[in-house]
Amino acid sequence: MYKFRVDPNGPSSSLYSFKIWPAVMPEPLLWDMQAAGELNAGSILLATHKGDVSFGRVSIVPVP
């Protein structure tokens, strides 16, 4: 499982967060990676290179 999150961090900055875990395990509480950036809008791309993968349900929802 993958989870990405973007939180506003000021008028022109955002906090980007990412975590990954096996589907048979519960979602971890902590993020694997976090970084601040100066973008406040963007998009996401799911891609693979030399891998046999499938992407299941993808949800994009506002952060409360």
Structural domain count, the chain = 1
Q: Which secondary structure element, helix H or strand E, spans residue 35, and what is its range?
A: strand 33-37
Quick: pLDDT tens for 1-53. Answer: 888 888 887 777 888 899 999 989 999 999 999 988 886 566 777 888 888 88
Domain that holds residue 4: 1-64
- The CA–CA distances, whole Å, from 24 to 9, 20, 56, 62 equal 33, 12, 15, 26
Is pTM beyond 0.85? Reply is no
Q: Which residues contact 35 (CB under 8 A, 6 or more apart)?
A: 15, 16
Higher per-residue pLDDT: 54 or 30: 30
